Structure 1
């Protein structure tokens, strides 16, 4: 008896398979299978994961895909298995075509037209498809599929067509018990409840990874025995070729220029360094720069990477405001080509983190562009490289919230009931998966306290845990682009994303494993802030340096700001954690900022305290004398990713390539190779005389640190941007904060930035129909709201207003505005009035303005524009203007936040009765319990080492910011109160550490004296990916 599973679907058969490739390999090994074919539906999504898992478990990898489509108008499907590199490329093209045409894809027509059809093996049970394919495929290429429930008609058809049969036992689950999860996934895919699910959409309950003997029992006769043998023979013919198929082999695009790439790279690099260092010839460059350049060029040329650098150089040309980051910033070549902007020689950046002699995977070059210019960059890529380019995918997986919601819907529970549960499940647990990830959170989170979960919720929670972490669909990676020498579909299938760009079926790690070279072209809102602030400063008569000339990393005023932690709005250094670290360190120079931006990470408080203790003169000894030289600059502590590689090289004899591999495995945490790397490190360290205790200590330090660290060159690149932001905040605060608010993506809410503006002495002005554009605008000591801030005002209407003003001059009156701006609707005009945007006209009394708008609306009719209505109307009655508090309430309705005063101004008289300590006086109460009151402007939920939830929050009152620490016990009691959209009163003890104070909360309550509760959206900061990482 000989049988091999040819039709195994993993969880990468989206919303169908239930089991990850790693688990399939583990089960296959346990059940006696030495190989099986991973044949996911319409894709190779799981190929990189499968190859790694097979390598780890000693399974021979084999791949294919279950392609579905139509023949003669009827749905069909077939296993398509490649036998060579050409066959693999043909399979990639077939999958790409299937996604282009959808379910109507004519599978037979495509396969018959495929030039490399002889390198494919096709297995199907559909008679119509078999007959049509037999017209062009030989008996060596086409097989009749026999499944466990034998169909005599298929055996007869095989004899008629002269084809061999092959035994299959389609698999969608690793275990029999997983079938219930399969049913739920199919219900989610079809948007139906389990009770209304079409039985034809389900796999058999026997579709789990059974031992070969169990399958063979269904093929007991001579025909069956031959079909079993054919399964093994087919699997052997379709063994995955790896490097022979071009998989895992570096695949670089080719630069197309007038001269050879190597010559162009050398000349361009020398020219760039002459410009960077201000010398007339290469001989004028410092000796160590020339030596570093020759070393890099030699390695780059030998590795065949010259084309890669030139392509990235061409991409950034014409975009002066960029930030090359990541490990590429350690390259002098990248610095010379203006891909990066940090001098790697001056800052001692570790080139081997980017590229080393033994590296087999491609290096990454990451470049940030202003967020609103990135699409232009991508358009350039696809215009120039067309079918040779695609973006990298993200595999979007079920998170606990989504899993719970979708499973509950499949059970027919009403949306209102579902939302009552899922809306209280904290996003903090989004990274969790598997058993306990949902139920544990529901049982332990204070946000879900009091929720009663009657049946069928117990079953819903159990199934939600089963599917949490499984891939659901693809999305587009924020900026990863791959360019190949020939058609990209020879290397990986692609599909078209909703935004219209082609995307690979692999995410970034899989792309790298496959040998494809990724270039990250990412959007960065702070680069747009810098661009806009510089432009505004020039518009206002100043002469600031251009972006590329703005090197202020040694500016004393910037260093002082950073040392005080006065960095709100400044990229990478504005989070409360980072501001506190800067204040506690009392260091604002570039080198310390690079360290600090790398060591800020989750659960790092003890590490940071030890760093600060040493920084302020505390004694310390390195774990081992060999580490003193490596970690001297960071006081004996690991701060950068490079430190991991250097430790492995120094203590365990790793090569540079092996050290970088260790860093990657550690950073991925769940990597199957972790145990092997740990054993290799320990063995090498023992050979060099390290004790077991020291080996464990060093490994623990490395393992706890790796997942959240950055390479030094990355932190240095971002530190340059931080300094630029600090310079603009210091010299042009109004223009800078206008850019921060307009571009969004900051760590704080707009309310928080307006409070900071007032603390900097700026006046905050309302929008004005005669002064405002779409964006916020800063000039001198004033910050004016943009029309974008007015709720309910369409951008089209705002642009029409600005165009009318530019064409015909300032609006002279209310009637003039209504007559000239035909796009304005009555609700929009009412919002402009509430916002104070009409105060520059002939009528500034808000009550009378609202009377006139109501009269116009009555004339125009409900919902109509004012275009055809004579705007002139009788004088409004004598009505007193609104009181200040009522005005503030109107601002809340118009802007979603109070603009000309802090929201606590609404309750100023009552604040005195609360006996609260204002933010500016908290530092006078160190060691004492105080009561503070403010609005929540940002919060960071974290886990302690014991996995308990706690939160760091920042409140703002009229005098400043108050940092509050909410430890687990208090968080459990008060989390729901903390995030209520109203003032928060915190009672707690004031503590000081290294000169920085915070309040440790003992009690938290909402202040119910609020006379108006604003909508909560203005309290939520739009936090960027990098800001989330830095906290």
Structure 2
């Protein structure tokens, strides 16, 4: 009876989740319901999946609207009709200039319903009907259509559950229109009566028109939709070569060919592993998945692109031999069943990281090479704090009141009525989909056309994108190819290029020689002493400290550390326990015998995702399939699903049957629950460790070049300033941008680094292009005059260059240069220089003799780069005489010390009783790290006050060879007044 039902995937309009819509249908004794979201098929597959257990027959379609004006509804008679509806809708979603017409083109296997308008002439095709709303019944009596009732159907739209939902709808419409609720026009709203009524009520309303009821039922009876959610067979492209038998022979051939590249003397263990994996891959129907990944990466290698294959796919020797991953699963004893097993229903998943500069070309290649391809969407949902802002604007609240509400600093009962409404409805819409975005890297390559499953839209990325997310894709048996971007690979690639260019006489670096890197003594030294600033995944303060505590100097230790550092392991308390068992073998005896037997390599501590499967299987008595469902559920995507909750209960029930103590069962479950959603698969950690080794090798042997590449690839964990500092610590001379040497990016000449123009605040990319083009075309600039004659530039832009001392080659003081520039360049926006027959000479003015100081340079650098190029300690108002340094701290264990540090970064966290505390990272005068802990009392009394140098007093603590200062007091030291705005001459302190 319901041909026009909306969920909240009718974005910023509907208010009902797909599950709630079905529950409403069940409560009202309906057996069939038609989902027709506005210009969207996002919810369709999820509703079909849910309808199986609710025993409701689903009908799928689309409510085509121009804005909120309903043009027509199209229902699918079958799957073919649904595909055609998706294709038709996608034409409008791909091209925003196209408007939804008054009538659609004829679409086979569909029904079309037009909303009835009393004065409109309709010429209906065979598959077209008029939808009569309750409000239309009086007009119908006097309409010619009253005599053609065979073409009329009931049109009771369903958008809301109740009055609160209708109010929510109005708020969503106001947000969408960016207007005050009081100014929202009624034309932008649905009707308050757009509710799901009981069948008896609906029949009563249309009692005088029984034909309409009959027609509606008949139309719904003629619609059938069928999707298979059993996932017995993947729905991805089934064959790479158009023959599944040929696919398997090719996969087998490529696998054995890869032995020469990976192993010198493969043994029986390797051959047995290959055979086992190939058999399972074939049995599960994943042959084409491997071959498609192989083809993508073969293309990447042909273009010289760096990549890392990671995720649980690194557990596969076939993937290793096909060069999809660089992790040897035999060496690490990786658990292939974590990737693919006969019991696992969900599809496998390779995560392939590329340099951020290469990924778009890889994506373009995939779309050209494979048919039926699309990116995957993500549902960007309303978050509470953002909703408070949005609804605050809708209700007209001032910013100050919204700030109070978003910070949570209020007593709900004392708030005024509007503020209470903002909080109430912000909580209500929390989790509603707000708009569709793009998944970080997921791409679908389907056997059937993508429109068989949903419509696609065309975001700025320039590739067709599904209207559903990866969870729905997995439900229907479409597994994604993850093509991700990462700046760490950009650093590695750029460093290799810089080294090859700067040292052509040296043998080219083989960055894939991981076996050699694992034995390299310099890399072992960097790891053990945590000297890894700029290196992938091992540079953060937390990782730096963990490496020191574990004294890691080998690959396997780094693999474990990469997962131990994840937030869940720390939260469960098992990070500390792992460190204790790692360092003190006698401590390992305290592990539960069952857990120690399951995980001997990690001393009975859960470190990897595989450990969840093992513990759930061997300790909790779950099958491998149930254990994997538990692991997936921990990620949060499936946590609320009934199947996950049943598996959780089964874990406890099995432990109880096995007479395991309840306290032990609860403790093991707590550990599983606290970290499983954050822990890495072991293969994932191993892949990260490979990239860490590559970056550590470059840092060990080419530190200056590596820091330049780091700067050019957006840095890493820290700010630009720290990477400049790190380069200086390795002997680099740092130069500000120079008009005759610098480029947009940073470059290195010998040991001298010239910072790129791209680091200058407010310096326009257009100006950079003009400078580089002119310099390349006509040679170096000889003077300021020569530059002004050759480059069309504004006063504001040339002032930036002069202030950063880019004309220092002239030997003229920059204050004088600024005078000259202002006199010679008009403030009127400049046009490009035109070629003239005679060159007019610029008038030269005699400028007063002016001086600028090193201190002024430092403040110009502060303004334009964000940091000074001199030692920041030289900018203090008073020379400090504190001789304490980071290297002295081990001699002052458990003693209180005063020390000064330049703030690098802070990390805010909470204690077990939800009080705020901090960890701080500083540099001392020599440029070495000082690590601090700020417990709640000190954090409140002595807060961080932004960038600068701090006088720190605290107790020196050591734990596992890691030194920290527990801060008892701290204050920021004053720096010299900016001399550019002061009459008093100042000089840099020594």
TM-score normalised by structure 1 residue count: 0.85
Give the 3 Å change call, closer, same or farther, for CA 307–8 of structure 1 in structure 2: same
Deviations 1:573-630 (A, max 9, x none): 1111111111111113111111111122336153211111111115135765333233
In the aligned structure 2, how far is the partner of 1:954 from the partner of 1:96? Answer: 51
**Alignment of 1:681 onto 2:674:** no
In the TM superposition, residue 656 of structure 1 has moved relative to its aligned partner by: 3.0
- For the residue of structure 1 that corresponds to 2:797, the secondary structure is helix
Give 1:1025's aligned residue.
Answer: none
Give 1:645's aligned residue.
Answer: 613
In the aligned structure 2, how far is the partner of 1:929 from the partner of 1:597? Answer: 33
**Alignment of 1:992 onto 2:965:** no
Give 1:294's aligned residue.
Answer: 275
Give 1:67's aligned residue.
Answer: 63
Aligned counterparts, 1:231-380, within 5 A: 238=223, 240-243=225-228, 250-252=235-237, 254-256=239-241, 260-278=246-264, 285-320=266-301, 321-380=306-365
1:988, 1:999 within 8 Å by CA — same for their partners in 2?
yes
**Alignment of 1:720 onto 2:690:** yes
In the TM superposition, residue 835 of structure 1 has moved relative to its aligned partner by: 1.5
Give 1:1024's aligned residue.
Answer: none
Q: 2:821 aligns with which of 845, 853, 856?
A: 853
Give 2:40's aligned residue.
Answer: 43
Deviations 1:121-150 (A, max 9, x none): 44443359997573231xxxx554344445
In the TM superposition, residue 292 of structure 1 has moved relative to its aligned partner by: 1.0
- For the residue of structure 2 that corresponds to 1:80, the secondary structure is strand
**Alignment of 1:864 onto 2:858:** no
Give the 3 Å change call, closer, same or farther, for CA 567–395 of structure 1 in structure 2: same
Give 1:201's aligned residue.
Answer: 188
In the TM superposition, residue 538 of structure 1 has moved relative to its aligned partner by: 1.3
| Cα RMSD for the two superposed structures | 3.5
Give 1:630's aligned residue.
Answer: 598
Give the 3 Å change call, closer, same or farther, for CA 102–879 of structure 1 in structure 2: closer
In the aligned structure 1, how far is the partner of 2:459 from the partner of 2:65? Answer: 20
In the aligned structure 2, how far is the partner of 1:1008 from the partner of 1:909? Answer: 8
1:622, 1:628 within 8 Å by CA — same for their partners in 2?
no
Q: Which has the larger displacement, 145-154 or 323-332?
A: 145-154
**Alignment of 1:125 onto 2:128:** no
Q: Which has the larger displacement, 514-523 or 616-625?
A: 616-625
2:856, 2:978 within 8 Å by CA — same for their partners in 1?
no
In the TM superposition, residue 1008 of structure 1 has moved relative to its aligned partner by: 5.5
- For the residue of structure 2 that corresponds to 1:466, the secondary structure is helix
In the TM superposition, residue 765 of structure 1 has moved relative to its aligned partner by: 1.8
Give 2:552's aligned residue.
Answer: 587
In the aligned structure 2, how far is the partner of 1:710 from the partner of 1:874? Answer: 67
Q: Which has the larger displacement, 884-893 or 944-953?
A: 944-953
In the aligned structure 1, how far is the partner of 2:33 from the partner of 2:976? Answer: 66
In the TM superposition, residue 161 of structure 1 has moved relative to its aligned partner by: 3.8
Give 1:464's aligned residue.
Answer: 426
Give 2:450's aligned residue.
Answer: 488
- For the residue of structure 2 that corresponds to 1:654, the secondary structure is coil
Deviations 1:808-834 (A, max 9, x none): 4433333333333x2443322221222
Give 1:546's aligned residue.
Answer: 510
**Alignment of 1:612 onto 2:579:** yes
In the aligned structure 1, how far is the partner of 2:681 from the partner of 2:230? Answer: 33
Deviations 1:692-746 (A, max 9, x none): 3333222222111111111111111111001111111111111101111111051
1:481, 1:518 within 8 Å by CA — same for their partners in 2?
yes
Give the 3 Å change call, closer, same or farther, for CA 243–545 of structure 1 in structure 2: same
In the TM superposition, residue 494 of structure 1 has moved relative to its aligned partner by: 0.4
In the aligned structure 1, how far is the partner of 2:876 from the partner of 2:850? Answer: 23
In the TM superposition, residue 80 of structure 1 has moved relative to its aligned partner by: 3.2
In the aligned structure 2, how far is the partner of 1:364 from the partner of 1:129? Answer: 57
- For the residue of structure 2 that corresponds to 1:645, the secondary structure is helix
Give 2:987's aligned residue.
Answer: none
**Alignment of 1:828 onto 2:797:** yes
Q: Which has the larger displacement, 243-252 or 664-673?
A: 243-252
Q: Which has the larger displacement, 876-885 or 514-523?
A: 876-885
Give the 3 Å change call, closer, same or farther, for CA 599–157 of structure 1 in structure 2: farther
In the TM superposition, residue 241 of structure 1 has moved relative to its aligned partner by: 2.2
Q: 2:390 aligns with which of 406, 414, 422?
A: 406
Give the 3 Å change call, closer, same or farther, for CA 729–589 of structure 1 in structure 2: same
- For the residue of structure 1 that corresponds to 2:566, the secondary structure is coil
Aligned counterparts, 1:832-981, within 5 A: 832-840=801-809, 842-857=810-825, 860-864=826-830, 867=833, 874=844, 877=847, 879-898=849-868, 900-907=869-876, 909=878, 911-912=880-881, 918-930=885-897, 933-958=900-925, 959-968=927-936, 971=939, 978=944, 980-981=946-947
2:259, 2:321 within 8 Å by CA — same for their partners in 1?
yes
Give the 3 Å change call, closer, same or farther, for CA 394–1013 of structure 1 in structure 2: farther
Give 2:984's aligned residue.
Answer: none
In the TM superposition, residue 233 of structure 1 has moved relative to its aligned partner by: 6.2
- For the residue of structure 2 that corresponds to 1:327, the secondary structure is helix
In the aligned structure 2, how far is the partner of 1:239 from the partner of 1:147? Answer: 24
Give the 3 Å change call, closer, same or farther, for CA 74–192 of structure 1 in structure 2: closer
Q: 1:528 aligns with which of 490, 507, 511?
A: 490
Give 1:16's aligned residue.
Answer: 13
- For the residue of structure 2 that corresponds to 1:901, the secondary structure is coil
In the aligned structure 2, how far is the partner of 1:622 from the partner of 1:206? Answer: 66
Aligned length: 960
**Alignment of 1:384 onto 2:369:** yes
In the aligned structure 1, how far is the partner of 2:815 from the partner of 2:389? Answer: 46
Deviations 1:511-536 (A, max 9, x none): 22221121111111111100111111
Q: Which has the larger displacement, 495-504 or 457-466?
A: 457-466
In the aligned structure 2, how far is the partner of 1:315 from the partner of 1:20? Answer: 38
Deviations 1:639-680 (A, max 9, x none): 111111122222344343332222111211643233211123
Give 2:168's aligned residue.
Answer: 181
In the TM superposition, residue 979 of structure 1 has moved relative to its aligned partner by: 5.7
Give 2:737's aligned residue.
Answer: 767
Give 1:396's aligned residue.
Answer: 380
1:248, 1:514 within 8 Å by CA — same for their partners in 2?
no
In the aligned structure 1, how far is the partner of 2:938 from the partner of 2:173? Answer: 42
In the TM superposition, residue 371 of structure 1 has moved relative to its aligned partner by: 0.4
Unaligned runs of 5+ in 2: 981-990
In the aligned structure 2, how far is the partner of 1:460 from the partner of 1:853? Answer: 55
- For the residue of structure 1 that corresponds to 2:81, the secondary structure is helix
Give the 3 Å change call, closer, same or farther, for CA 463–500 of structure 1 in structure 2: same
Q: 1:661 aligns with which of 626, 629, 634?
A: 629
In the aligned structure 1, how far is the partner of 2:116 from the partner of 2:965? Answer: 71
1:42, 1:98 within 8 Å by CA — same for their partners in 2?
no
Give the 3 Å change call, closer, same or farther, for CA 85–217 of structure 1 in structure 2: closer
- For the residue of structure 2 that corresponds to 1:243, the secondary structure is coil
Deviations 1:7-43 (A, max 9, x none): 3322211111234334445566566667644432221
TM-score normalised by structure 2 residue count: 0.89
In the TM superposition, residue 795 of structure 1 has moved relative to its aligned partner by: 2.7
**Alignment of 1:192 onto 2:179:** yes
1:69, 1:98 within 8 Å by CA — same for their partners in 2?
no
In the aligned structure 2, how far is the partner of 1:128 from the partner of 1:204? Answer: 18
Unaligned runs of 5+ in 1: 279-283, 426-437, 445-451, 1015-1031
